[in-house]
Chain A
Amino acid sequence: MIAVKDRLRAEPKSRWRFPVTLEGMLYLLPSIVLFAVFLFYPMFKTIYLSLFLTDAQGNAQIFVGLEHYSQLLSSPSFRASLKATVLFVLYTVPAGVILALGLALLANQKLKGIGFFRTLFSSTMGMSVAASSVIWLFIYNPAIGIANTIMTTLGLQEMQWLLNPDTALISVAIPTIWMNTGFSFLILLGGLHNIDASLYESGKIAGVSDFYSLRKITLPLLSPTLLFIVTVSLINSFQTFGQIDILTKGGPMESTNVIVYSIFKDAFVNFNIGSASAQAVLLFAFILIVTILQFKWSEKKVHYQ
């Protein structure tokens, strides 16, 4: 910017010069092109398609206005989807963040061999959703799975984890937490690492308790990182697809039919692309609102340094 300004001042007015806004646009061009092709175009196309009835190839046929939206909002199946999604987010996000935070606090201690645990705790980050889901498919297997073995050794009743509509959503939430922990853990550990050790030493000299340190030093100074993790986890959780597809396929009795899975089914199984697009738009709006609310709410509580 400064360079541009200087040059403008230096050059005589009469000479032709490249308009500044155009020059700026030129620098932005690569990312504008990428965003346009992979983000803006699909987004507007989705909004466009949500206003039409489509054929099996996904071509717009008849304009129906907001009919898809009104149908969706009054459909019990979509409402169930919405409820499953919200429940799923509530199951996975708080638990996942708290678990990752706890592990990060543990792994941030200066102990011998802590590097091993750091690697271990972050290892799920390196696993694909498909591989993890298959592992959990085995764990949940009613006959040979370790989940039921544990239940019996604890003297509890065996469960039909993924097959019972009451437990299926939680049974998918648990692997999701497990998968997300690695990433959240690593980011939170980095955040903890950035907190100046002398602040804790200052606390030690004053004699404050560990819990007080956590509340008054760690959490406030970690709050930007926590906000980031919560936001990413929220969005991730709203968009969960892979583990649903592999573990339950939206069943049993649609109890795990979260919105993204329902979009997938409507678009690529029922070829009802107009309705699927409308759902996608609703999901987008929903995530947008939640994220804005979250930022608004946390504005006062997050301390940027």
Chain B
Amino acid sequence: MKILEAVNVHLSFGGVAALRDISFSVPEDSITTVIGPNGAGKTSLFNCISGFYRPQQGSIFFRGQDISRLKPPARAALGLARTFQNIALFRGMTVLDNIKLGAHVHTKTGLLGALAYLGPARREEMALREEVERRIIDFLEIDHIRRQPVASLPYGLQKRVELARALAMRPQLLMLDEPVAGMNREEKEDMARFILDIKEEWGVTVLMVEHDMSMVMDISDHVVVLNFGQVIASGLPQEVQKNPAVIEAYLGDGDIATLRRRLNANTEAA
């Protein structure tokens, strides 16, 4: 079963094509990883799926429904949740409020209810707090920072809070844009464990963008390779790794940063 399917998606910015005729799908209950050199169009692809960018051509289907015309909030309500490559937490809020915000589409207190904060509004807030504490804060081991303003947290924890916020959206498909970039080894291992748990215990399908090859190989069920806005390969991790076009893309484009990162990842894994 495919949970998400992109068909012939084409996106360009004033003549510069960021995505060309992209088609791929995400199997349900999988961890699917999109890899590719910097500038390949991975984040743009995520943005098309969340509805922040509107592709000029092509369609995106979620559980068989064409969501191409839906606005981002409607897509969130369907169960599309994500994190961002450059952390996009709300800096004026505490960790707890950031996470609660993720549940926005699943709560319904209206203006008058909020002003009065009696009965239903209060009950909804309490239920939300309870859920967030029990399912997310405990799970991600961030109970010690729940009252802190997010701006004061170290980078690794911020990434974790972003994951928490995405989980509060009660995702069906969780999209993670470079979840371990810039983390130290221990943080990376924690994050990999969380992602596996989310798939296995929560039954949430994961679609992620990641550069860290050892992690990609370890936890992905399915890999899609993007280069210059095109899908150049997809399949099982081991297959993709051996694909000549992929090796060419990584070695051939002279992207030193990517190359170095990949080599590091391999030596670390070894």
- A and B: real partners? no
Residues of B within 8 A of A (CB): none
